[in-house]
Amino acid sequence: MSERTRNLIYGGLIVALIAVVGFLIATNPTEADRVSRLGASIMCPVCQGEAIIHSPSEMAREMMDLIEERVGQGATDQQIIDELTASYGQGILLDPPVSGPTLILWLAPAIALVAGIGAIVWWRRHPSDPGDPTAAPAGRTRTAVTALILIGSAAAVLVAVTSFLQDRDETALGVADLQVEDLDEVSNQTLEAVIAANLDHPQISGMRLALADRYREEGDYRSAFPHYFAVVESETSDAGQRVAALAGLAWITWDGNGEADTALGLLDRALEIQPGSVPVRFLEGRILHCSGQSDRSERVLSDLLQEPSLTVEWKQIVSDELAAVEAREVCA
């Protein structure tokens, strides 16, 4: 064996050893590394596109504490993610994984490509009889035909899977037969099923809002939260729906978690969308009242009473709240 060959072998062994060590380090992160990585991949539900690891929100800190606790208990990353998405919805994932039927669409072309390369390499290493004058052309023809077959197969797989997904959407629980004005007669379970089967339908945001409001009124904030959050993030939601969802998030953030500053921040976002929203301004005054900031609450409610467009019903509601604030009554 020549010296050059030995050097190449030694160099290859060193590179392989470095690769193995690097792989072991990468696949065996410390608990702190796992907590940081998970915290960077989860979006704060009450912030604007900010990972919980960087958010000062109390809710984000609680989520980080949960991650740290679960990591310490030996839970896998996927188990922790599943627990968080069960509470807050898939929308909290900053980098959602490709899964389900979509995974087939991603893998099919890659599988076909790998199979094609493998077949071509195999045929090149197993040529026909060299003495046969037709061997080379036949080999080239065989390779070309194989490539065409593989391309056609990949296309057929994509068409078949796409058709399957379309058929699934068409046969899923329909939205057209379930009008928004009839939702009071529909059970929570049915609404959940319709929403899950028609996530991209333009009417889904309205249904999510109705279901979230129902959960909120029942005191089931855990179930309401992901629906409000999805409405805020959805491209199919209109301005009014986003404002209503932000208001819902604000109230359950305050009433369920005691985070007045975060709740008021959500209301500020809602007022950026609809500056004159009476329900949002009233809710701002109420949260200020309930959190012990009576002076600020009094100013907000007094200003709201001067709003010319205020209806008689809203004037009564705001006046009653203002009277309670001025009397320094405990928020009920």
Domains of the chain: 3-92 (1.10.8.640), 101-154 (no CATH)
Of 58 and 13, more confident: 58
Angle between helical axes of 221-233 and 77-88 (0-180°, round to 10) = 90
Q: What is the pLDDT of residue 153?
A: 57
**What is the number of alpha carbons within 13 Å of residue 15 lying toward its C-beta?**
6
Distance between CA atoms of 170 and 322, rounded to whole angstroms?
52
The overall pTM is greater than 0.75: no
Query: Of 81, 101, 103, nearest to 92 (Cα)?
Result: 81
| Beta bridge mates, 93 | 42
Residues 6+ apart with CB under 8 A from 201: 175, 236
Name the band, by pLDDT with cuts 50, 70 and 90, for residue 21: very low
> In this structure, are residues 13 and 6 in contact, taking their beta carbons and an 8 Å threshold?
no
Name the band, by pLDDT with cuts 50, 70 and 90, for residue 197: confident
Which token pair is 211? 């279901």
